[in-house]
A and B are shown apart, each in its own frame.
Chain A
């Protein structure tokens, strides 16, 4: 995939104007992680009400791919039952992004997803999440 396609309008839009960016005053599920190979960092907070993701916010620093992927993910999961959203797979996230990625950049795309899973499973109590 060439650079123009990879950095399509939607990706750059989500990068420059991420959705659900910031902090939640009341959050009962949260997680944070860093990609050690590049230093990118994402934190996610959620307010879970009646088993649903009533609200979600993310923050952090990173490349267009990691920020856009997380922004798209928050759009997708907000309002959904937590246990259902927690079962999301990597491929679902990549489909949201809609671009092909090299193995090096896959980590960027999946950082927010990893943090989301950590927060979700942390809340659901299993505490288990395998990368």
Chain B
């Protein structure tokens, strides 16, 4: 905790709570049919993106799958911009054209949320390649799921990254399932970091339920990647509390299993550690939580009141 410091700790706690309350807002709005289509929440996985992205500079880039709301919020998009996108409004971060799975932000170098499992992995590689080509000191964090790590694009990207010394960090958010398939039924080796050795890069195992360890690990990994311009592969152990998407009842896992993971809740455990340091007390936590709830409420109202995309938006942006 000492290495993190009070200010950074508070900021990261706020980010985790923001993401969670935001996702809860999404779930509620989905039930109320304000949000439609697919909707995949990040609840339970907050410490992964928060811990990793805490080390980014404005030069760095990042990219992920359809489970993409958190990275948008952590990277600097407002709750209003992301929520309005969920609602399909013109005020959304991509003008209502992407919805829940396609949060992007050019100004923050967020290369977005992608709907094809594994499809974003070579793009993240390409972003890092561009940084190196232009001699900028930067990395690209490339997030994907455990299910995606069995796609050809994953292996092709690891090979290219290592071959060409590309400063990309492959982050497998190993939340134990690809939809309803437990990863030991899909991955010959669920310890995904093992693939690093095969491609001659560094591999890491990180506890993604604990922000302190995630923050520390990613600090070292990112620094090393920048210093040596070498890729890395990180397998982060984590868990999603909700179904795969809002339409998933989660019948493939037991209530006990979910309960067990929730006991390691990243927000709660980080709050406890902060409390031990005397950086926050219950009152402070409640105030912060209230603030985040109010922010999400405001975002929901903003999204509701925002106009739909005008008809000319339909044919706008087909070609640059």
Answer whether A and B are interacting partners: no
Chain A positions within 8 Å of B, measured between CB atoms, are none
Chain B positions within 8 Å of A, measured between CB atoms, are none
